[in-house]
């Protein structure tokens, strides 16, 4: 029997790459996102099923829960939906941008966990275990100038994951945090900078081999395919060129002769 994974934020980037990799490994996958056209295309490509839902909407998440309950147990929840908006200081940052980041990065994850844990428990009873995997960021562990609201929301999401792990102690449900650094996807920086393509491209300019979505997807799928007694509490994944959010090598990587 194939196990079933649900991936939020599945319409692009890390979410779409994770759906593709789960399907390639033989999993049943329910892809969830706001953009129906992209979900349909991904389903046609991979054979995944899809459900249109915005994790910032109580009604959408309630409908998602009902759909999952009707269509069978769940073995893996991947909380991938998230985003960054702006790169302003704490003093001058937009309260609306901060609100949007907390809504999707923190409350969106909380909604999904609350709604889908019953289905994960049924899956754990059936298969011997289940997993909650949440994609946070190194921004949830290390502050940086301009991080402001994104740092705050991702630190909060990291705390949410840590508390959930404590609360589920004694149940056969692993709680995994994947914290990527610089990942070059088609939308993350573009959204952060309000559609300014030149500014988004500059983030990755001259950086040798930033991560791509498939690198993070590999860590997500690997974490849930390990033996059931092994839990990767926290996986931090960065390109070699990045030492910290604020320290990134530009140009080719070379061995120092000093």
Question: SS3 sequence, 208-256?
Answer: CCCECHHHHHHHHHHHHHCCCCCCCCEEEECCCCEEECCEECCECCCCC
Residue 179, class by beta-carbon neighbours within 10 Å (0-12 exposed, 13-18 middle, 19+ buried)? buried
The pTM is what?
Answer: 0.94
Q: What is the side-by-side order of every strand in the sheet holding 4-7?
A: 49-52, 28-33, 4-7, 76-79, 130-135, 173-180, 234-237
| Max Cα–Cα distance, the chain, nearest Å | 64
144 is an active site residue: no
pLDDT at 1: 65
pLDDT one digit per residue (tens) for the chain, 258 residues: 689 999 999 999 999 999 999 999 999 999 999 999 999 999 999 999 999 999 999 999 999 999 999 998 999 999 999 999 999 999 999 999 999 999 999 999 999 999 999 999 999 999 999 999 999 999 999 999 999 999 999 999 999 999 999 999 999 999 999 999 999 988 777 777 688 678 778 778 889 999 999 999 999 999 999 999 999 999 999 999 999 999 999 999 999 887
Distance CA 175, CA 155 (A): 16
E strands, 20-92, where? Answer: 28-33, 49-52, 76-79
| Confidence (pLDDT) at 257 | 85
């Amino acid at each position: 029997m194939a196990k079933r994974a649900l991936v939020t934020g599945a319409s692009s980037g890390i979410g779409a790459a994770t759906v593709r990799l789960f399907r390639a490994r033989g999993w049943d996958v329910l892809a969830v996102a706001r953009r129906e056209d992209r979900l349909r295309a991904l389903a046609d490509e991979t054979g995944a099923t899809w459900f249109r839902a915005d994790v910032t909407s109580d009604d959408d998440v309630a409908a998602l829960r009902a759909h999952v309950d009707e269509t069978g147990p769940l073995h893996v929840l991947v909380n991938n939906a998230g985003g960054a908006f702006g790169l302003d200081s704490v003093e001058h940052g937009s309260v609306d941008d901060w609100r949007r980041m907390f809504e999707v990065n923190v409350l969106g994850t909380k909604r999904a966990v609350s709604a889908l844990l019953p289905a994960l428990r049924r899956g754990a009873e059936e298969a011997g275990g289940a997993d909650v995997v949440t994609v946070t960021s190194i921004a949830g562990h290390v502050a940086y100038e301009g991080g402001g609201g994104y740092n705050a929301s991702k630190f909060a999401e990291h705390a949410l994951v840590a508390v959930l792990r404590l609360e589920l102690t004694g149940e056969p449900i692993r709680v995994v945090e994947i914290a990527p650094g610089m990942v070059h996807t088609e939308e993350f920086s573009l959204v952060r900078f309000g559609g300014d393509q030149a500014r988004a491209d500059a983030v990755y300019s001259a950086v040798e081999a930033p991560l791509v979505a498939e690198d993070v997807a590999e860590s997500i799928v690997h974490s849930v395919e390990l033996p059931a007694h092994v839990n990767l509490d926290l996986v931090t994944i960065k390109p070699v060129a990045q030492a910290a959010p604020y320290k990134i090598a530009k140009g080719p990587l070379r061995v120092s002769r000093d």
